[in-house]
Structure 1
Amino acid sequence: MFNPSREQVRNFFIQAWRKRRAGEALSALESIAVDIIALHPEYHRVLEDPAAIDREFSPDDGQINPFLHLSLHLAIEEQLSIDQPPGIRAAVASLQLRRGDRHAALHEVLECLGETVFNAQRHNAPPDGAAYLECVRRRASTLG
């Protein structure tokens, strides 16, 4: 299993964005990543700063880690491409239909995924795919 370091993940996003801006060829995964990055102009400046590889983004300081955010988006795109956990594709489609905006729906899925990962880490257990899917389905069935 591929388990990149923090620096490798950050470098992947920084280099993919650099290649996009330079008009260089992108791999399939880089293409997905830059499409996600393009939806987040608030992160462009960070991705254009080579020192960002070592920067700390502390939630205690009210900062969102753009690399974590982009990584979760990328994970969701992978899940959707293979429908894993089974039913995630339909649940996200329902959520998107309910919200009327794919990116807004994906941010709700991202919240569910973040909660699932947090709970797995807290309990030293594998992620609970059923709870994750239920979280997305619950959001798809509520207004707002």
Structure 2
Amino acid sequence: MFTPSQHDVRRFFCETFRKWRANEILTPMEAITRDWIMQHQEYADALSDAEEALAADYSVERGQANPFLHLSMHLSIAEQISIDQPPGIRAAFLGLAQRLGSEHEAHHQIMECLGEMIWNSQRSGLPPDGTAYVECVKRR
């Protein structure tokens, strides 16, 4: 299993941003990432300098949004939807996106459910509950 470090993730996003701006060929994963970066132009400064990105502190105490976490969640959710894992997430997403009139906003709503599922799993010491996650998305 691939388990990238925080620095690996930040380098990936910064390198994708650099390649996109330089009009270089992107891998399929980079192309998906570019699409999410394009929808979050507010992160351009954070993605422009890899060394600064590696040193940046996005701790809760600092009260800043973490662009790397946010983009990573978009990628995770996109992957979950593409393979319908956990089962039912694709249909729940499509229903939510239709109700909200925005796939992007649906992703943001799903992020709340994903965060809740991870927090519950960490707190209980049990595996993530995919069924509860999908039900959370359906309730939004």
1:80-95 correspondence runs (5 A): 80-95=81-96
Contact 1:20 1:34 in 2 (8 A): yes
**For residue 61 of structure 1, what is the amino acid of its counterpart?**
R
Query: What residue is the counterpart of 1:26 in the other structure?
Result: 26
SS where residue 24 of structure 1 aligns?
coil
Whole-angstrom CA distance in 2 between matches of 1:60 and 1:137: 32
Structure 1 stretch 4-13 or stretch 45-54: which is displaced more? 45-54
CA drift of 1:68 comes to 0.6
Q: Aligned with 1:85: secondary structure?
A: coil
Q: Distance in 2 between matches of 1:3 and 1:64?
A: 23
Q: 1:107 and 2:108 equivalent?
A: yes
Structure 2 runs not aligned, ≥5 long: none
Show the counterpart of 2:38.
38
Letter in 2 for 1:71: S
Deviation at 1:53, TM superposition (A): 1.3
Give the alignment's TM-score, normalised by structure 2.
0.96
Off by >3 Å, runs of 4+ in structure 1: none
Residues 93-132 of structure 1: pairs in structure 2 closer than 5 A: 93-132=94-133
Letter in 2 for 1:97: Q
Q: How many percent identity over aligned positions?
A: 54
Following TM superposition, by how much is the alpha carbon of 1:61 offset from its aligned partner in structure 2, in angstroms?
2.2
Scaled by the length of structure 1, the TM-score of the pair is 0.93
Structure 1 unaligned residues grouped into runs of 5+: 140-144
Bigger mean CA offset, 97-106 vs 117-126: 117-126
Report deviation, 1:104: 0.7
Aligned to 2:64: 63
CA contact (8 A) 1:16 1:34 kept: yes
Kept after mapping to 2: 8 A contact 1:7/1:54: no
Which amino acid in the other structure matches residue 34 of structure 1?
R
